[in-house]
Amino acid sequence: MSKLPVPVGVAAIDKPEARPVPALAVNSAAAAWMHALTTRNLALKHSERLAQNCFMSASLSARLWDPVVWNEWMQLQAAVWRRLQKQGRDWHEGCEVLVEDYALVRNANTMSKLVEKQCNLMTQSAQLMTSQSTNFMALLENIDVDYNYWANQKAQVHRAA
């Protein structure tokens, strides 16, 4: 049983009620193509957001010395820093759990218990990596969206003035 901060179950992605498709029924070439298209579309969407944020940054560069803009900019930076610190604490706690569980491997008194403990340790490691990677990508996406919203608000105020 995992003691990690974020439990992750093994279930079908996005459709827990979906029945598993037999491996032979899946056309691997089509599946690989669809995976590549999804990756491409998400990368393009991300690139568009980055370009838009770069444009917004350039348009706001003249207002950076405005105390209100500077204060809000620093608040955005502080919020990102707090999220990174929380993720670092979660990582540290997860690693502590793994170290504690690794020490328990020596308590196995049969081969089956040894294999069970080692497999549990590998599963917990994968869960920690998955949660950390997912949370980091979510943070990056939130930064993009929040910054874009904030920059648009500042640009609209500037245009209205």
Any idea where the domains of the chain sit in the sequence?
24-160
- At residue 108, φ and ψ (nearest 5 deg) are -65, 135
The closest alpha carbon to 118, from 106, 129, 128, belongs to 106
pLDDT tens-digit map of 120-153: 999 999 999 999 999 999 999 999 999 999 998 8
Residue 61 has pLDDT above 70, yes or no: yes
| Structure token pair of residue 94 | 């997860």
The conformational region for residue 14 under phi > 0 = left, psi -120 to 50 = alpha, else beta, is left
Give the separation between CA 106 and CA 145, rounded to whole angstroms. Answer: 47
Tell me the three state secondary structure of residue 12.
Answer: coil
Helices H / strands E in the chain, number of each: 3, 0
pLDDT tens-digit map of 1-53: 455 555 555 454 555 565 655 554 557 778 888 889 999 999 999 999 999 99
Q: Are 12 and 20 in contact (CB under 8 A)?
A: yes
Element (H, E) at 132: helix 111-160
Instruction: Determine the pLDDT at residue 33.
Output: 87
Instruction: Determine the pLDDT at residue 1.
Output: 47
